[in-house]
Structure 1
Amino acid sequence: MSEGRQMSDPILSVRQAVKTYGRFRALDAVDLDIRKGEFLTLLGPSGSGKTTLLSAIAGFTALDSGAVHARGADISRLPPEKRDFAMVFQGYALFPTMTVAENVGYPLRVRRWAKPALQERVRECLDLVQMGQFADRMPTQLSGGQQQRIALARALSFRPDVLLLDEPLSALDKKLRADLQWELKALHERLGVTFVYVTHDQDEALSMSDRIVILKDGAIQQEGQPGELYDWPRTRFVANFLGKSNFIEARMTGREGAHLVAEAAGQKFAVKPTAGVAETGAGCLALRPERIRLGHPGEEPFTGRVRQISYLGERCQVLVDHDVLGEVLVSQPTWHAGVRPEPRMDVSFGWDADACVPLTDA
């Protein structure tokens, strides 16, 4: 995200948002600012509150308490059609009896655009999503990916300041989904519209977002730029939900220079300090699989035995058993790998000083 976007005033703000369904607390005092022009992703497992939060911003869900502000004005009581946000749904929601052009032009007809301007804007939007040649087709004559492009063109037709997207790619196959991720990101950069995107797909969130907000049980667990969240998770949940992590129970024995010293399984190693983590005492460390080196016995500090190997093309995941640490997942490139592991093979493993991240919920 550019510096200008980071420093601008929020275009949307959510303050102390609470929503309950019986005893289930879907939103638990959520506070969130959304900057103009950013691509913000709400990420979390099923039931985390991400779709409820998006629906509250859109106006489809009324909050029990709290407020939604747009450009400083409280819009909590405004109906969806008065908020002037656009929304793209998982199920496309195209009108089956209208042509592609009629679907895209519908929001403009509702806003009483003059016919020549409407037709010109429909052409612009269809060209924007590379669907101009399909203007006269019916939605049932289109593939899932094509229908989603039309839904996107319709949402952008009236030039909204904010585009809300509720898992718009989840119904598509893996390759098409990956292609549309690139297209959506490029479209966002080209138009400068604020995107608020809901997904449960971690890779999707990492690849597309300026900023990610991770939710669990209706509350924000952590938010930040993708690299920040991935490299420095604060809790076990974030470390394990956004990618994969090994968790090492260690004892912090103090500080040496700029690093903390941790001890686990009879080995001492350096750890970069994290705010809120005690410098001495028991703690839990997160260690990403790709930060671990595999070696032949004696080359690295820890020794274990290979239990299982998963070949993933460009990478190989290796599950190693250690007497004290338990299961350790290692991910290494398959091209020119220093060690080519085999099941039941003895290996050593280790990592660099800043590889482990101390967690606050040890």
Structure 2
Amino acid sequence: MNTMPASESVLSVQGAAKYYGPVRALDGVDLEIGDGEFLTLLGPSGSGKTTLLMAIAGFTELDVGSLSLRGENITNLPPDRRNFGMVFQGYALFPNMTVAGNIAFPLKLRKWQPDAIKARVKECLELVQMERFADRMPSQLSGGQQQRVALARALSFKPSVLLLDEPLSALDKKLRADLQWELKDLHRQLGVTFIYVTHDQDEALSMSDRIVILNHGKILQIGLPEELYNRPKSRFVADFLGKSNFIDAVINGGNEDGFICQGGGERFVVSAPADVAVEAEVQVALRPERIRIADPGEEQFRGVIQQTSYLGERCHMIVEHSGFGDVLVSAPTWKTKITPEIGREVSFGWDDDAGVILAGEK
């Protein structure tokens, strides 16, 4: 598990805990965030991701633990002295100020000179491609335009860290996708540390250098997007980050090719590394897109298609197997070997390196 950033740590969270009565919103969180990293906090509602972001921002006081920025303790430092930019889901623009006025506001608070403010506002407008809208009021802008202004305002005073609390969740799907590209490109240009909160798995996978998965106030796994997706350590991570099939199995043996598993009345091999013993009861996680489907007899296992869902570039099928139960298969429509039809008998299988053993879970 990649728990450390690739670059030098800029922000350190140590033993962070926050309690609301019996609820542990944060429960002993340790986290190192790299200089210039795009780090995403991902988890369901109530997982602690926003509480952690607000603690970093200084809006939420920790009950236990500490925060340090480049080695300096900032645990008790007020928000306005942390030099962190903040972008909210609801934009939080000042409705009585123009676009340029909103961007200039943090600079005036910091007593920048008028000429420097004017130059920096122009620079920030160009950065988010909003030069033509400098004199517009927020009410005259679309949601995507307002979020660009909020981003420019948060970056105007050159913060050391930019905190983003689900900034795209209020936008429609296409606009969200466009702004994801823009945000990632902006991060690359500026080299500022981004700490991004989302509950959207696709957003996290497509944008992040590393992802932190939280649940019930605890960090369950940290790593590169491809690490977390391809090698989840727990059922929760495998189920939350994308979709997975889960097969209850017993380890029958192991060799240089991997582990021999017995589950659902079938035998199969899992070649991924795992710390398990012979006769251990485990669950095997299997991504739907790693499963091949074909006519009967062409693959190892037999089943019957119970449901289909056409998604344009992919087709999802639920295949019933006598031992595995319902197996979700996701196949590219342009290369699917069979015509997906409810009630059709098929065969399916996967490569030995497709499965992941979730040790200790059954």
Is the structural similarity TM-score above 0.5?
A: yes
Any idea what SS the aligned residue of 1:330 has?
strand
The answer on whether the counterparts of 2:248 and 2:264 sit within 8 Å (CA) in structure 1 is no
Match of 2:70?
71
Once the two structures are superposed, what CA deviation does each residue of 1:102-161 show, in whole Å capped at 9, x if it has no partner? 000111101111111110000000000000100000000000000000000000001111
CA drift of 1:298 comes to: 1.2
Q: Where does residue 332 of structure 1 map in the other structure?
A: 331
Taking the aligned partners of 1:361 and 1:157, their CA distance within structure 2 comes to 49
Partner of 1:186: 185
Instruction: Assess if the C-alpha contact under 8 Å between 2:289 and 2:330 holds in 1.
Output: yes
CA distance in 2, matches of 1:36, 1:360: 34
Number of the residue aligned with 1:243:
242
* Partner SS state of residue 310, structure 1: strand
User: Do the aligned partners of 1:308 and 1:318 also contact (CA within 8 Å) in 2?
Assistant: yes
Residue of structure 2 equivalent to 1:349? 348
Residue deviations 1:194-223 (CA, integer Å, cap 9, x gap): 000000000000000000000000000001
Report the counterpart of residue 258 of structure 2 in structure 1.
259
> Per-residue CA shift, 1:201-248, capped at 9, x if unaligned?
000000000000000000000010000000000100000000000000
**Could you tell me how far apart the structure 2 residues matched to 1:276 and 1:87 are?**
42
Cα pair 2:5 2:33 within 8 Å, conserved: no
User: 1:306 and 2:301 equivalent?
Assistant: no
Q: Structure 1: 5+ residue runs without aligned partners?
A: none
CA contact 1:267–1:301 (8 Å) conserved in 2: no
Matches within 5 A, 1:38-117: 38-117=37-116
**1:279 CA drift (Å):** 4.3
Task: Output aligned runs, 1:1-362, within 5 Å.
Answer: 6-362=5-361
- SS of the residue 2:280 aligns to: strand
Residues 244-282 of structure 1: CA distance to partner in whole angstroms, max 9, x if unpaired? 000001111121214111122333222124343334322
The DSSP-based 3-state class of the residue aligned with 2:352 is coil
User: How much has 1:72 moved relative to structure 2?
Assistant: 0.8
Relative to structure 1, the CA distance from residue 188 to residue 282 in structure 2 (aligned partners, 3 Å threshold; closer, same or farther) is: same
Give distance in 2, aligned partners of 1:112 and 1:193: 23
- Output the amino acid matched with 1:240: D
**Alignment-mate amino acid for residue 131 of structure 1:** M
CA RMSD of aligned residues (A): 1.1
Residue 29 of structure 2 aligns with an amino acid whose one-letter code is V
- 8 Å Cα contact 2:272-2:357 kept in structure 1: yes
For 2:191 and 2:278, how far apart are their aligned partners in 1? 44
Contact 2:281 2:360 in 1 (8 A): no
**SS of structure 2 residue aligned to 1:280:** coil
Deviation of 1:7 after TM superposition, in Å, equals 4.2
| Cα distance in 2 for residues equivalent to 1:361 and 1:192 | 41
- In structure 2, what is the Cα distance between the partners aligned to 1:199 and 1:185? 15
State how far apart, in whole Å, the 1-side matches of 2:19 and 2:132 are: 46
Count of paired positions: 358
Shift of the 13–279 alpha-carbon distance from structure 1 to 2, 3 Å rule, reads farther
Q: Distance in 2 between matches of 1:77 and 1:6?
A: 25
Q: Post-superposition, which runs of at least 4 consecutive aligned residues in structure 1 deviate over 6 A?
A: none
Offset from partner CA, 1:20-63 (integer Å, 9 cap, x none): 11111100000000000010000000000000000000000000
Alignment TM-score, normalising by the size of structure 1: 0.97
Post-superposition shift, 1:340? 1.5
Q: Distance in 2 between matches of 1:249 and 1:274?
A: 18
Q: Secondary structure at the match of 2:337?
A: coil
1:120 aligned counterpart, secondary structure: helix
Q: Distance in 2 between matches of 1:281 and 1:258?
A: 18
Q: 1:214·1:220 contact (CA, 8 Å) conserved in 2?
A: yes
Task: Identify unmatched segments of 5+ residues in structure 2.
Answer: none
Letter in 1 for 2:30: D
Residue type of the alignment partner of 2:79: P
Cα distance in structure 1, aligned partners of 2:6 and 2:235: 30
CA contact (8 A) 2:5 2:32 kept: no
Is the contact made by 2:89 and 2:165 (CA closer than 8 Å) also made in structure 1? yes
